[in-house]
Amino acid sequence: MIKPHGSETLNPLFVYDQKKHHDLQKEAEGLPSLVISSSAAGNAVMLGGGYFNPLTGYMNVADSMSVAEKMHTTGGLFWPVPILSTTHDVSGIRGAKRIALRDPNVEGNPVLAIQDVQAIEEFTQDQMNFIAEKVFGTLEIGHIGVQTFMEAGRYVVSGPIQVLNFSYFQQDFPDTFRTAIEIRNEIKERGWNKVVAFQTRNPMHRAHEELCKIAKDTVNADGVLIHMLLGKLKAGDIPAPVRDASIRKMVELYFPPNTVMITGYGFDMLYAGPREAVLHAVFRQNAGCTHFIIGRDHAGVGDYYGAFDAQTIFDTQVPKDALQIEIFRADHTAYSKKLNKVVMMRDVPDHTKDDFILLSGTKVREMLSAGKDLPPEFSRPEVAKILMAYYQDLDK
């Protein structure tokens, strides 16, 4: 099986030993505590599950600046985005060597992790601007990722963590949330060697379905990991339970048995375009995948990134030996009226725009809200039915 990033074996930070886990929970009751941001909580969940291997905790200012500038920590580890816990107020933990990190997304703010505090530093505005510019490619506060980063606070609390739970993800998505180590174990159990990962924060229509099949066939993979984001999204995005249901229905009806794993991970979307695409590749390698699909405007938002920036970053900024996972570069995929099948647009240079069935996200929402069926060439009817029920319920 493909090696994890940066180490021979995967080292998840979740404390699996029952006695140690119990002792840490008890210790946490007497520690100074900090309610962390939602993004920091997502980082803890990803660290706990082994997705951010080989990191041992949150980065300090020096590592954050180094990663932002050249995608390497000060120690030389390749990493595409700073993994931070920032906050507005450190008065309750100042001087503490060990603290309890509390979950902002669960009622009562239960302890999510225990952190050994190596440093409490403060970003200057110039440093924050530098990181935002490098990671998101813009300083515009209208970019949801920039806004979230800027509003999370300037105090940087760095140091290793021990993770005690996976926030709300295990409870809310028991059939879907999986850690990187659980995915690796299942890949092994299924006897798969080559695995193609597909990232999604949206429901999957015919184009996405066929893209997974095209990628699987092209690289001769044993299976596809459909890996959906289960954390916070921007307003207007379809919630995870609806996406989960629609994807499961599609796989059940339209993929051969034992060719797809449907899983999800607990993380808030960054909308960092190319840099986030590289992060997505890193943690799919940690989950045991050999190939990763990157299409048009991967992890983008608005018009901040070029259509294929998330692909070209692997040629221009990612060193050749930095990752073992291979990138499957996809073009926009759509149904061809000429060929009566879904194709990648680059593969049919003789087509014009009118030869494809193309619907904007706005048009799809309008049709579903009005109870109008989507064209079967665009969306499987069983999937459209689930989405229609959601949009019509919204309008009540």
Q: CA 229, CA 279: separation in Å to the nearest integer?
A: 13
Is 201 noted as a catalytic residue in this protein?
Answer: yes
For the chain, which ranges sit under pLDDT 50?
Answer: none
CA neighbours closer than 13 Å in the CB half-sphere of residue 107: 1
Contact by Cβ (8 Å): 342, 336: yes
Q: CA 1, CA 163: separation in Å to the nearest integer?
A: 26
Q: CB within 8 A of 185, min separation 6: which ones?
A: none
From residue 211, give the alpha-carbon distance in Å to each of 244, 252, 351. 18, 17, 18
Q: Regarding the domain delimited by 174-265+269-330, which CATH topology (the fold level of the hierarchy) does it fall under?
A: Rossmann fold (3.40.50)
| Residue 195 buriedness (CB in 10 A; 0-12 / 13-18 / 19+) | buried
Q: CA 178, CA 244: separation in Å to the nearest integer?
A: 13
Is 105 noted as a catalytic residue in this protein?
Answer: no
| Residue 192 buriedness (CB in 10 A; 0-12 / 13-18 / 19+) | buried
Model pLDDT, residue 13: 98
| Residue 201 buriedness (CB in 10 A; 0-12 / 13-18 / 19+) | middle
Q: CA 84, CA 64: separation in Å to the nearest integer?
A: 8
Strand-pair partners of 101: 34, 113
Q: CA 318, CA 321: separation in Å to the nearest integer?
A: 8
The CATH number of the structural domain formed by 18-167 is 3.10.400.10
Q: CB within 8 A of 47, min separation 6: which ones?
A: 12, 13, 55, 56, 57, 83, 161, 163
Catalytic residue among 98, 154, 201, 365: 201
Model pLDDT, residue 230: 92
Q: Residue ranges per domain, the chain?
A: 18-167, 174-265+269-330
Model pLDDT, residue 91: 96
Model pLDDT, residue 270: 95
Model pLDDT, residue 272: 97
Model pLDDT, residue 104: 97
Secondary structure element (H or E) that encloses residue 385, with its range: helix 381-394
Model pLDDT, residue 392: 87
pTM (2 decimals)?
A: 0.94
Q: CA 323, CA 314: separation in Å to the nearest integer?
A: 10
**Residue reference for tokens 């739970």:** 165
Strand, coil or helix: 243 = helix
Alpha helix (H) residue ranges in 288-375: 309-316, 361-369
How many angstroms from the chain centroid is the CA of residue 115?
A: 23
Catalytic residue among 11, 129, 193, 202: 202
- Cα dihedral 297, 301, 306, 312 in deg (nearest 10): -50
β-pairing, 98-102 vs 119-122, is: unpaired
Model pLDDT, residue 191: 97
Q: Rounded to a whole number, what is the distance in angstroms from the first to the last CA of the chain?
A: 50
Contact by Cβ (8 Å): 123, 97: no
